[in-house]
Amino acid sequence: MSQVASSSALMRRSWFSHACRICVGFPVLAICAAVLVNAFALATFEIPTGSMAPYLVGHHRRCTCPRCGVTFSVGRHAEDRVGAGESRFYRKIFCQQCGQFPVQLSDEEETPGDRVVVNKLTYRLQTPARWEVAVFRLFDSIFVKRILGLPGEEIEIREGDIFINGKLCRKTLDEALAMRMLLYDSKIGTASTASDARWERDFDGNMFVLDGRAQPATLAYRNFDIDGQKCEPIRDEYSYNGGTQANCEYVHDFLVTCELDVRESSGDGEIVLQLCDGGDWASVRIPVGAQKGCQNALLSVVVALVDRRLTLAVNGVTWSQTDLPESSQRVAVERPFRLEAHGVRVTLAGFQLYRDVYYGQQGVNGVRGKAVRLGTGQYFVLGDNSPRSEDSRHWPDAGRIAAGNLIGPVERRILSLR
């Protein structure tokens, strides 16, 4: 009996020891696997410049607008070599929310740029996709840009848009949302005369309540300069760049997100949302009422006129999408958005106006009249902050980037304090 008991105890001790080795071994294996993944699959890079702003920001300082209270990032000026923040480099800072000019640069220390995590194995398993943000090596340096042109394509930039093989390249709604640039947000900043001046309306009372039951009511957004007391065309200006650019251009592609509250409405009618791209006023309609739907509802709405594609999404579902014919020439836009209420009462809330990335005519490659033909395994890349981006428009060999130079796509952003 004692021998049996001793053997049983020995087996229990052996099992316990084996289990302990397994428990200790798993974390060790996990750590080793993580080290191997970081060494061979993942890499982290810091963004020093603002060529991809506002998607990714480089070294910057925070500024607060004295008029509306909005805080925003201003990138290091190209001539501010060490980021000392000398005032002579930052005399033209402006607030994109309310138009205040100038805004003083913050005295706080400069904040480092964002960091990105890159998967180095992705492009071994799949080919790069258009609109993807990628990291690559060139001129013994590391760059982060957006992939626009793919192998075998001819790429050209016209009026800020990308043309592939002579045809306008249109984004999906998800792609437009991922690349949007904020112009105005009714949810941030304090109430001010400047904010009120952004709106035109044909009725009295609460600015964002349209009672169109007796007669149609209209509310329109305008790019109003309160200091100059006039409407200004919307340009590809970035408050991040610390001032206006001498070669800035008019932008045309806009996207709006908002909430429309029709819970206090009665009867049947419709809400009309309109966007202007300088070529057309394009309209989408939301029916309201017992016979038409959307009765007693709070609607989360996205409407976009980007790349001549008009899209309406309500509560996360795409309701309509229409491709307008390509436009040969579009005029400057001062009033990009209009809201109408017909037969209903609607409250507008959480209004946000965005513009699409605008690719400028700086450089010599791919600009109007200088299309670039890509060969096998070649790509054309651009920075989102076009006025401040050294990219394929400027580089040798017509800006063509060989597939072998690509490290991988940006998998994750580690955002700095913005």
CA-closest candidate to residue 194, choices 308, 85, 66: 66
Partner residues linked to 219 by β-bridges: 201, 339
Distance, in Å, from the CA atom of 362 to the CA atom of 321, rounded to the nearest integer, reads 32
So where are the chain's domains? 115-171+359-414, 175-355
pLDDT of residue 296: 73
pLDDT of residue 227: 86
pLDDT of residue 108: 84
φ/ψ of residue 166, rounded to 5:
85, 0
Q: Token pair of 237, please?
A: 């200006």
Neighbours of 311 (CB within 10 A): 23
DSSP letter for 396, please. T
pLDDT of residue 294: 76
Q: Token pair of 85, please?
A: 């923040």
Distance, in Å, from the CA atom of 319 to the CA atom of 308, rounded to the nearest integer, reads 17
CA-closest candidate to residue 47, choices 417, 418, 414: 414
What fold characterizes domain 115-171+359-414? Umud Fragment, subunit A (2.10.109)
- Over the range 150-171, which residues count as b (16 or more CB within 10 Å of their CB) and which as e? beebebbbbbbbbbbeeebbbb
Q: Token pair of 66, please?
A: 């004295």
Give the largest Cα separation in the chain, rounded.
103
What fold characterizes domain 175-355? Jelly Rolls (2.60.120)
Please provide the DSSP assignment of 247-309 as one string.
Answer: T--B---EEEEEEEE-TT--SSEEEEEEEE-SS-EEEEEEEEBTTTB-TT-EEEEEEEEETTE
Cα–Cα distances in Å, from 25 out to 30, 38, 47, 181? 9, 20, 37, 48
Question: Which positions ≥6 away from 300 have C-beta within 8 Å?
Answer: 257, 259, 314, 315, 316
pLDDT of residue 416: 77
Q: Token pair of 392, please?
A: 């394929």
Ranges of the chain whose pLDDT falls below 70: 1-40, 190-195, 203-205, 243-246, 266, 291-293, 417
Residue-level length of the chain? 418
Distance, in Å, from the CA atom of 189 to the CA atom of 95, rounded to the nearest integer, reads 11
Partner residues linked to 161 by β-bridges: 158
pLDDT of residue 4: 37
Cα torsion for 52, 275, 183, 368, to the nearest 10°?
A: 40
Partner residues linked to 72 by β-bridges: 63
pLDDT of residue 16: 47
Question: Which positions ≥6 away from 12 have C-beta within 8 Å?
Answer: none
Instruction: Classify burial at 116, counting beta carbons within 10 Å of its beta carbon; exposed 0-12, middle 13-18, buried 19 or more.
Output: buried
> Distance of alpha carbon 118 from its chain centroid, rounded?
19
Q: Token pair of 275, please?
A: 């966007």
pLDDT of residue 29: 56
Distance, in Å, from the CA atom of 52 to the CA atom of 133, rounded to the nearest integer, reads 9
Please give the angle made by the CA atoms of 23, 26 and 30, to the nearest 5 degrees. Answer: 155
pTM: 0.88
Q: Token pair of 380, please?
A: 């054309």
pLDDT of residue 205: 64
